[in-house]
Amino acid sequence: MTITIKPIAIEDIAGFRQVLDQVARERRYLLLLEAPPLDKVEAFVRANIKRNVAQFVAVDAGQVVGWGDIRPYPQPGVTHTGVLGMGLLAEYRGQGLGYRLLEATVSQALANGLTRIELEVFASNRAAIALYEKFGFEHEGLKRKARYVDGSWDDFVMMALVRGAE
């Protein structure tokens, strides 16, 4: 079975929302606890496509199974910076697919002129932290007790990848 990594397209919106919702409902990896309504997700994706934002999906047999996006900041002085978001369905984790998604998304963001890509990841998400470290992201800080869900606190680990800004 071959999983394809490709730029998101209009026909991927419903599948992207479904994956976003499933990952969010795990209540462990995203700030969201459920996906926004389809019309909001559609507006987000259409805006990203229009602005050539780096947003990719992983597709298996026609079904979206993961995504990665890097949204650039619009404010003057930080337009060289983008924020990474990504996720995979549980059954697709631990197979190198996250690295492939990250590689495609970061490559496009750098080609688009970004030189700094940052993220916040829950400290409890050790697998994601290991992925980001393997890819070259560096730790920049920690937000202690940044999230409280289901009776548990979690810290945010702040990480960034900086390229071509010398």
CATH number at residue 139: 3.40.630.30
For 56-84, how does the pLDDT look when each residue is reduced to its tens digit (9 = 90+)? 999 999 999 999 999 999 999 999 999 99
Domain hosting residue 59, numbered range: 3-162
Residue 75 is predicted with a pLDDT of 95
Residues 6+ positions from 22 with CB-CB distance below 8 Å: 89, 90
Residue 166 pLDDT more than 70? no
CA–CA distance, 108 with 56 (Å, rounded to integer): 9
- Looking at residue 86, its pLDDT comes to 98
pLDDT > 70 fraction of the chain, expressed in percent and rounded: 98
Does residue 1 have a pLDDT over 90? no
The number of domains in the chain is: 1
DSSP string, 44-60: HHHHHHHTT-EEEEEEE
pLDDT in tens, 21-55: 999 999 999 999 999 999 999 999 999 999 999 99
pLDDT at 165: 61
Mean pLDDT of 138-166: 94
Determine the pLDDT at residue 152.
Answer: 95
Q: pLDDT (tens digit, 9 = 90+) per residue, 95-148?
A: 999 999 999 999 999 999 999 999 999 999 999 999 999 999 999 999 999 999
- Sign of the alpha-carbon dihedral angle for 90, 10, 35, 44: positive
For 66, 101, 127, 137, the CA distances from 121, given in Å and listed in that order, are 17, 16, 10, 12
